[in-house]
Structure 1
Amino acid sequence: MNKCMIFYVSQHHHNTERLLKQAIDKESGVELVPLSHAACPVPDLSDTACSSLSRSAAFPTAPLLPSPASCPLIGLASGIYMGKPHTALLSFLEQHRKELAGRKVFLLLTSGSGMKKYAADFSSLTESYGCRVQGCFQCKGYDTYGPWKLIGGIAKGRPDASDISRARAFIQEQLRGLPSEGSQ
């Protein structure tokens, strides 16, 4: 059993995924679980031009997600999209609210602006689901959304080596005090 699972969404420039993969040591007992169509409600195709398509053709089967209940520590990570974490992560929170209630959770966010408000809002939302937020890491990530693409984007080169080092230290701090894999 893993010590920790980090459920994450990383699209557009894959800033969050790159940060996680570079910050987590392979021997740490942390499993990265990407959220995709598996965490999102599937749209009704019956009223569209695609109604002749089967659900499986329109949305290939996503792998089943491991249950967050099987792990002592949960991480939730996302880029910020229109001022909020990705809808797939928010759907995951809603779908697993009973399993996550009372659980230790930590948060990781990347965004073009790095506004502290994003972390505070996501922390409050996560706590409203009954989670015990242990900490939140946030850093900038390259962003070319909307008007930013006209100037070549913002936060170019981010997350950088310093961000990765800080994320590694943050994750290691979250893991401190958990039993090692062999001692369970």
Structure 2
Amino acid sequence: MKVLIVYKSYHHLNTEKVAKAMASTVDAQLCKAEELSQHNIEDYDIVGFGSGIYAWTFHRELVKAIQSLNGGGTKRAFSFCTCGNVTLKYEKMMEQLLTKQGFNVMGHFCCLGFDTFGPYKLIGGLNKGKPNEKDLEKAKEFIKSLIRRI
């Protein structure tokens, strides 16, 4: 099973931690969003897309990378994110984008990440230490469950 994980991780590298945990579990290829043009998604059985949440949306570099692709209606994909507030449903936003680009969306993973956006910086940030080992284990279980379904 060939897996490509495309991600954008910026401020605290929260999403990179999740991407690396997933990749190590299924021997996936990691790719930063800005380097996606160097890969042919047709070479992979499933492609994951993830970023932190910046001002209530996925990072613009990741969105731009996805918009440059055509999943052809059959290419399997999943999404993931790290954010300051998991009660907001970011997966719908990503599912709509991936579906519009012709991907068959298999699932979404989200966990808390250390967040110093806006006023949170004044109080030293939210979710210090996140994602933690428990979060990374959940990310590993998520990707294993996706692979079992294929």
Distance in 2 separating the partners of 1:22 and 1:131: 23
Distance in 1 separating the partners of 2:23 and 2:102: 26
Distance in 1 separating the partners of 2:87 and 2:53: 10
| Count of equivalent residues | 150
Structure 1 residues 101 and 94: CA distance shift in structure 2, 3 A: farther
Structure 1 residue runs of 4+, over 4 Å off? none
Which sits farther off after the overlay, 166-175 or 112-121?
112-121
What is the TM-score of this pair, normalised by structure 1?
0.75
Aligned to 1:143, the other structure's residue is in SS state: coil
Verify: 1:13 aligned to 2:42, yes or no.
Answer: no
Within 5 Å, give how 1:24-103 maps onto structure 2.
24-25=23-24, 28-36=26-34, 38=35, 65-96=38-69, 98-99=70-71, 101-103=73-75
Tell me what 2:145 maps to. 173
Larger radius of gyration: 1
**RMSD after superposition:** 1.8
User: Tell me, which stretches of 5 or more residues in structure 1 are unaligned?
Assistant: 40-63, 179-184
Contact 2:48 2:78 in 1 (8 A): yes
User: Tell me, which stretches of 5 or more residues in structure 2 are unaligned?
Assistant: none
Task: Give the letter aligned to residue 66 of structure 1.
Answer: H
% same residue: 31
What is the TM-score of this pair, normalised by structure 2?
0.90
| Aligned counterpart in structure 2 of residue 155 of structure 1, from 122, 127, 148 | 127
Structure 1 residues 32 and 169: CA distance shift in structure 2, 3 A: same
TM superposition shift of 1:128: 2.0
Contact 1:109 1:138 in 2 (8 A): yes
TM superposition shift of 1:99: 4.1
